[in-house]
């Protein structure tokens, strides 16, 4: 089973041993960040630093906001600061390729706190009027155009054989934002959905097209959430609980609006990447098979997304069960990549990787992704080498 590990450019640039060390893990490919959100990351083996602070979402290659693609547009990619200067992506990609590794781009899209800070009207707005600056609303035409063009530019970098598009869909509340203090109330799956519903002007109009009054809907959402704020336990019923809280027809109308909005954006972004890429360029989406889920692995309809992209990267932190709906489509040649955390300090389990990969294969996985070679300790990497050697 083909294996790839996620890597940041700053894990490689400035460390002459990094590429060979990653290749020695036994991976076939590296998924290298080309556009990424703000983060603070360990670099436990780098000879020049131990902490990298990426202060804002940025592209990790040279971009020109005044160039032909972005000229005159309010929304455009931000270049990185000193955490990824110049063509950090290109330098890292060349080093990894020289070590014998295939390189694919890793592109984070609808997750950008700087965009929300500088253009607050682009953000998701919840039923209380609170903005989520980390979450661009994917219903807004200018935001959609920005995301589609960013996907094409960031995905198709020189020498890349493919791309993995993360956050190509709705984002919601569940995101670690600076010093995050949002875990005091257990919202559960239903509460997270309600807190993800957007009420910006574009979404208000969209609800209207589905026969909903936006003011009445926002009031209904606030009413449904009130017991949770008071400490009532989550009903635990998934979509059935959401229907109970909003009513079946209202819940279905909100989901239909959001599903269509995400689906058409995904189609446009994949098409733009293919138009910009050479023949044979692989396009994968980070995805969850439940369409109303939000976040870095946004919900998709498995049958639809496998008719659009070459495959999916599926989160398996809670086990490989989410693979089955994608594998069950029986789509020949589709990539179904199981994404496992291998950083023990971040909840990963490198010691069970052999068993995890075997179970994933049983459920239809064709490839494996490992998060994340740059962040893992030496002990974690030793466990990864052992597991991959036993494939």
Q: What's the CATH number where 25 sits?
A: 3.20.20
Is 53 within 8 Å of 10 (Cβ atoms)?
no
Task: Tell me if 360 is assigned to some domain.
Answer: yes
Which of 111, 101, 95, 88 is closest to 39 using CA atoms?
Answer: 111
Task: Tell me if 231 is assigned to some domain.
Answer: no
- The first and second tokens of residue 146, run together, are 């920005």
pLDDT at 181: 64
pLDDT at 178: 66
Enclosing domain of residue 173: 2-184+281-389
How do the residues of the chain divide into helix, strand and coil, expressed in percent and rounded to 5?
Answer: 40, 20, 40
Helix and strand counts by DSSP (H, E) for the chain: 14, 13
Task: Tell me if 252 is assigned to some domain.
Answer: no
Contacts of 339 (CB under 8 A, 6+ apart): 286, 313, 314, 315, 316, 317, 368, 369, 370, 371
Is 109 within 8 Å of 150 (Cβ atoms)?
yes
pLDDT at 210: 97
Whole-structure pTM value: 0.96
Task: Tell me if 299 is assigned to some domain.
Answer: yes
Is 107 within 8 Å of 163 (Cβ atoms)?
yes
Contacts of 188 (CB under 8 A, 6+ apart): 228, 234, 235, 236, 241
Q: How many CB atoms lie within 10 A of CB 146?
A: 24
Which of 325, 270, 283 is closest to 303 using CA atoms?
Answer: 325
Half-sphere exposure of 276 toward its Cβ, with a 13 Å CA cutoff? 22
For the chain, how many residues are written?
Answer: 391
Task: Tell me if 224 is assigned to some domain.
Answer: no
d(CA 57, CA 35): 7
Which residues in the chain come in under a pLDDT of 70? Answer: 175-179, 181-182
Domain count across the chain = 1
d(CA 372, CA 391): 19
pLDDT at 65: 84
pLDDT at 231: 84
pLDDT at 83: 97
Task: Tell me if 328 is assigned to some domain.
Answer: yes
pLDDT at 234: 74
Task: Tell me if 11 is assigned to some domain.
Answer: yes
Q: List phi, psi (to 5°) of 306.
A: -75, -10
pLDDT, tens only, 55-110:
999 999 999 888 889 999 999 999 999 999 999 999 999 999 999 999 999 999 99
Q: Which residue has the tokens 């990298």?
A: 52
pLDDT at 177: 63
d(CA 106, CA 304): 22
Task: Tell me if 356 is assigned to some domain.
Answer: yes
Q: List phi, psi (to 5°) of 157.
A: -95, 155
């Amino acid at each position: 089973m083909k294996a790839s590990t996620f890597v940041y450019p700053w894990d490689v640039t400035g460390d002459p041993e990094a590429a060979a060390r990653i290749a020695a893990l036994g991976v076939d490919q590296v998924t290298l960040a080309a556009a990424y959100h703000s983060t603070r990351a360990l670099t436990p083996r780098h000879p020049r630093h131990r902490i990298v602070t990426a202060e804002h979402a940025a592209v990790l290659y040279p971009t020109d906001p005044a160039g032909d693609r972005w000229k005159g547009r309010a929304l455009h990619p931000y270049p990185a600061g000193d955490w990824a200067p110049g063509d950090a992506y290109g330098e890292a990609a060349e080093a990894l390729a020289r070590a014998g590794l295939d390189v694919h781009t890793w592109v984070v899209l609808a997750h950008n706190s700087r965009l929300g800070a500088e253009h607050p009207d682009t953000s998701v707005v919840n039923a209380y009027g609170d903005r989520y600056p980390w979450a661009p609303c994917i219903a807004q035409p200018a935001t959609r155009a920005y995301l589609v063009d960013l996907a094409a530019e960031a995905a198709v970098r020189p020498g890349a054989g493919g791309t993995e598009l993360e956050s190509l869909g709705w984002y919601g509340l569940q995101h670690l934002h600076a010093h995050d203090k949002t875990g005091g109330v257990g919202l559960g799956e239903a509460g997270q959905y309600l807190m993800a519903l957007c009420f910006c002007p574009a979404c208000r109009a969209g609800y209207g097209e589905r026969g909903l009054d936006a003011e009445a809907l926002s009031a209904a959402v606030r009413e449904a959430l009130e017991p949770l704020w008071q400490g009532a336990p989550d009903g635990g019923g998934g979509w059935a609980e959401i229907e109970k809280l909003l009513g079946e027809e209202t819940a279905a109308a909100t989901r239909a609006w959001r599903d269509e909005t995400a689906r058409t954006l995904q189609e446009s972004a994949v098409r733009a990447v293919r138009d910009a890429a050479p023949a044979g360029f692989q396009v994968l989406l980070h995805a969850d098979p439940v369409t109303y889920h939000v976040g870095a692995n946004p919900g998709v309809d498995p049958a639809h997304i496998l008719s659009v992209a070459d495959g999916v990267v599926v989160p398996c932190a809670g086990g490989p069960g989410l693979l089955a709906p994608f594998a069950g489509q029986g789509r020949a040649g589709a990539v179904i990549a199981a994404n496992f955390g291998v950083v023990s300090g971040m909840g990963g389990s490198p010691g069970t990787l052999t068993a995890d990969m075997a179970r994933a294969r049983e459920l239809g996985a064709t490839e494996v992704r490992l998060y994340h070679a740059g962040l893992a300790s030496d002990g974690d990497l030793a466990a990864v080498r052992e597991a991959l050697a036993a494939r």
